[in-house]
Amino acid sequence: MSGTIWARCPAKVNLSLKVVGRRPDGYHELETVFQAIELWDDLEAAPAPALTLSCDEPTAPGDDSNLVLRAARALRSRFPEPARGAALRLRKRIPVGGGLGGGSSDAAGTLLLLSRLWELPTTVADLASLAREIGADVAFFLHGGRALGTGRGDRIEPLRSLGPFPILLGCPPFAVSTARTFGSLAARLTLPAAGVSVGEFPALKWREENDFRYTGNDLECVVFAEHPELGAFRGALLGEGARLARMSGSGSTVFGVFGAEESLAEARAALGPRFPGWRLIATRATDAGAHVVGTASGAGRTGD
């Protein structure tokens, strides 16, 4: 395929996250409910003799730890003939290291973009298999919407849409180490489970619209102990009328679900002065996952 094409890659929040235990491979067994949100990275791909990546976010890794390059190389290894390259250009809008899945979403977008650019005979199963190899959350972004993730979070079961409900993201001026968080949690896994029990977890399919009674995040106890300001922001969201307030993934973003756009706007105005240095982003749930849009002439249409 000739010409530049582009994809939109959404962020996510975890409406619920339960750590069930340790796996033989060293990872943690999770049960989580993902929700894609309307905060997008833009990714372009153009024909080129070599595989390169440029990014407008200086804190994003530029080496092999970057999931975009890892996804591109994994796809090229699966379909090695003929030799293929691409010039990839990433415009970041999703905060790095905030538990919003930006890197995983970008990886999913890379698989979709390069499958199109290189005109590969990929199937949904092919991309899902590669996604699980690249990272635990990548497979979710091939689906988007709301989904139950089990295993490492890489086994995905789509769930019924709850519609475009309003969400306020609170992004502090620091990141949280995922590895350190799970390491600190390890000692707690022998204690009685808190929050939702494994038997109750099917209730997370929400029999009633926007019923968040059974949600929780097992990682909050670890992260809030080290960063009490995150717990304070969660409490402030609830004080401003959020129906649900949670940390997303392993942090550092804390989000609130609101019943109306007006309530969210009032909360954002009230919390801004109380949490200086934080980025407060008004967004909504979306049913979209990472997806190829078309030519790159319309890229960059993002915002808070």
Active-site annotation, residues: 12, 137
Cis omega (within 30 of 0) for bond into 252: yes
d(CA 94, CA 154): 21
> Is residue 260 exposed (0-12), middle (13-18) or buried (19+ Cβ within 10 Å)?
exposed
d(CA 166, CA 258): 5
Angle between the 102-117 and 67-78 helix axes, to the nearest 10 degrees?
30
SS3 125: helix
d(CA 169, CA 163): 18
